Every structure is written in C-alpha cells, then in structure tokens.
Amino acid sequence: GAVVSQHPSWVICKSGTSVKIECRSLDFQATTMFWYRQFPKQSLMLMATSNEGSKATYEQGVEKDKFLINHASLTLSTLTVTSAHPEDSSFYICSARAGTGDTEAFFGQGTRLTVV
Amino acid sequence: KNEVEQSPQNLTAQEGEFITINCSYSVGISALHWLQQHPGGGIVSLFMLSSGKKKHGRLIATINIQEKHSSLHITASHPRDSAVYICAVKGSNYQLIWGAGTKLIIKP
C-alpha cells in the first residue's frame, strides 16, 4: 500500500515551547489529511481535517490556535502544538487520502509527544 | 451507546489458536476498516471493506452490511500478532468513527 511518513516518532519538549509534527505522503498526492490524537487506553479522536490549500476544519473542542495545521502541498501536512502543556502529552497520528469519498486512507507511524 | 462497538475488549490466547474479533456499528457506512496498532503506537491498515470478505495471509475480514457487523479472524495465531486491533467505520461524511479497540495477546 501507499506510504505515509510521520516525523518525529517521539519528542520531549518543555512546557511553553512549540512542537511541529510532519506528515508526508511518499508515493501519492494526498488531497486530504487527517490528524488524530490518542490518550492512553483511549480511542483515536479526530482533531482536524485538512485539504490541500485550504484551512483545516477542526473538530469541536479542538483549539485551532493551539493546534496549527498547515497543508501547503499535496504531500505534506504539519501539525504544530503551540505553547505546549503537560496535558498535551499524547500520541498524535496523521492519515492521508488521495481523492475523496471512499478512497482509502493510509496512516503515519504516529508521534508520541511528552511535555515536561 | 457508542456508534462502533468492539468485542472482546481484551483477548488472551495460546499460539496457534483461531482468533475472532467482532465489530458492530449503528450508523450507515460506506466502508469499514480494520487496523492494527502495535505497542509503540504505529497503526497499520489491514483491510478496508464495503461488502463480503477479504483475505490477506492469515487474516480474514468479513462484513455483513444488513446486520451491521464485521469480524476479523486470525488463523494459526502467533505471538507477533499481539497488538490492538481497531475497527473504524467510514460514515456518511467520510470521516472515520473509531471503535475502542481489542487488545490481543498471543502467548507462546
């Protein structure tokens, strides 16, 4: 299947700093990328959906000014956690989809963020 | 009640056993995914189904649209199959609704 590369796989940062997570589709053009967050022992929760060249659509309860999503090209989306706090510590996963509708989405490896 | 229910939540079995994980959903869907999440967190997409049955190696996935139910089977299970298996359905807005996952442990 198609490959989605997410980087970094893990990061530790100090409270108050910002962290950027990259999601790249390596062998296809991703018209849509999804960002998910997973707290320990919980299901993945959709944070936002981004279409290339458009502003991201955030799910209810997700602060768009805190979780900045940029989908500037068909192969790259970034999630920046601004002014990170310990409660932002979580596992973040992106998925990318070419086309629309029923097109299959492929997942990145995930990024484990720990804010100290 | 969750829109996607998985059972069992936890499953421990001996190597070689036939494994079945179930997923029931209550919404209209266009497709259903089975995914595998390894202890490190990385997710691998196993199947995407909209009808019938798919097989890949020792893994088999079935879906019954009328009954709103899907099953994931693992034949000749192996300790390396130990992981969390997640069912996710693609709803009418094409976004995924996730099940809580089934933690599978295969003992040697």
> Would you write out chain A's pLDDT as a tens digit for each of its 116 residues?
668 899 998 999 999 999 999 999 998 888 889 999 987 767 788 899 888 888 899 988 999 999 999 988 899 999 999 999 999 999 899 988 887 655 667 888 889 999 99
Residues A43, B43: C-beta atoms closer than 8 Å: no
Q: Residue A114 in contact with residue A14, Cβ under 8 Å?
A: no
pLDDT at B91: 72
Q: Which among B43, B99, B100 is the nearest to A110, CB-wise?
A: B43
pLDDT at B39: 74
Q: Please provide the distance, in angstroms rounded to a whole number, between the alpha carbons at the two ends of chain A.
A: 36
Q: Which residues of A touch B96 (CB under 8 A)?
A: 34, 46, 105
Instruction: Write the single-letter amino acid at B44.
Output: V
Q: What is the CB-side half-sphere exposure of residue B78 using CA atoms within 13 A? A: 4
What 3-state DSSP class applies to B81? helix
pLDDT at A46: 86
pLDDT at A42: 74
Helices (H), chain A: none
Can you list the residues of chain B whose pLDDT is less than 70? 1, 40-41, 92-95
pLDDT at B26: 92
Strand partners of residue B36: B44, B85
- For residue A34, what is the nearest residue in chain B, using CA coordinates? B95
Q: Which residues of A touch B43 (CB under 8 A)?
A: 93, 107, 109-110
* Structure tokens that stand for B75 in this block: 């034949």
What are the contacts of B48-55 at 24+ separation with CB within 8 A? B48/A104, B50/A102
Q: Find, among B52, B59, B39, B40, the residue nearest to A10 by Cα.
A: B40
Averaged pLDDT score across all residues of chain B:
90
Q: What CA–CA distance (Å, rounded) separates A73 from A22?
A: 12
Q: Which among A45, A46, A112 is the nearest to B41, CB-wise?
A: A112
